[in-house]
Amino acid sequence: MQSIGFIINPLSGDGRGANIWKEIEAYLKQNQIPHVFKATTKAGEAAELAIAIIQEHRVDKLIVIGGDGTIHEAAQGLAHMQKAGIHSRLAVIPAGTGNDFAKAYGIPKDPLQALNIALKGTNSVQIDILRTTNGGIAVNSIGAGFDGMVAKLTNESTYKKFLNRLGLGKLSYFLTILRVFATYKPCTAWLEVDGKVHELPHMWLAAVANIPFYGGAIQICPSASPYDGILDIVVIQSKGRFRLLPILFTVYQGKHTRHPAVTFYKGTSVSLRTEIPLLIHADGEFAGATPLHIELAPAAITVIC
């Protein structure tokens, strides 16, 4: 059997990553499955570790034990190596708060069940990724405005860690949404999709989605697909905040799509300018501020699902 590589974030899910790795490692040793692994010690390290483990061991499968942030980083390393002509498949054992990526590709929460899928590797798909002009990528989504603020404050919050311990981590996003909703001020933005510019007064957020899921349970773009070679863009605009209250609750079921404040676009190239700088997130991780430019990279990496 070809060696398998693991990237582990022991701090993901408030320590759940470390506990899952103990279970996985015991199984691997008991079944004499050859493997190599590297564990992250700080934020942003998973990309470097992914590159190192692929370069050193030429692993066929890179299995990430962590949340969407760890997957986001590891995928950057994997995409970098694929541009260099070295190909590895990405597999996931979810250990985070939202686990949007795992949900999109049908990966179960049970660690040994997820490992079994990764080891068998019988169902692999090539997925699109989102590339930004600064060299970053995203596998789930990139958003600016309200959702950028929500992502930043949620990751900085103390209640996220507390709720993770209780198995209620997804609730942390909803609590932050309520916090930000009470004070957020929309602004005018200009969205360019495949060369056509749309002026967006009173814009709350603009998000480019590769999968339907967002923030753990939100279905921000229900029709988004990582296989179709198309970017799905959702924009929310409103002069008053109370008009948006129904969206706060219907978005979890993906039933916000007909709300008059919600508009969808599709394309392969997206740019966003705003009258004031807005925070950006990529796969739920803070990624700077607007302006923003995104290009679709079709069928860029391979995922075991």
Paired residues of 264 in beta bridges: 234
Residue 174: what pLDDT?
A: 84
Residue 2: what pLDDT?
A: 60
Taking only the tens place, the pLDDT of each residue in 141-181 is 999 999 999 888 888 888 887 877 777 777 888 888 889 99
138-297: CATH architecture = Sandwich (2.60)
Taking only the tens place, the pLDDT of each residue in 15-71 is 999 999 999 999 999 999 999 999 999 888 999 999 999 999 999 999 999 999 999
pLDDT surpassing 70 at residue 1: no
Nearest CA-CA partner of 118 in 18, 45, 20, 216: 20
Taking only the tens place, the pLDDT of each residue in 252-291 is 899 999 999 999 999 999 999 999 999 999 998 989 999 9
Cα-based distances in Å from 148 to 64, 70, 88, 163, 281: 24, 18, 31, 21, 5
CA-CA distance, 204 to 201, in Å (whole number)?
A: 9
The helix/strand/coil state of 249 is helix
Instruction: Enumerate the domain spans of the chain.
Output: 4-122, 138-297
Supply the DSSP symbol for 253: G
For 4-122, which CATH class?
Answer: alpha beta
pTM: 0.92
- Residues of 237-267 as b/e, b for ≥16 C-beta within 10 angstroms? bbeeeeebeebeebbbeeebbebebbbebeb
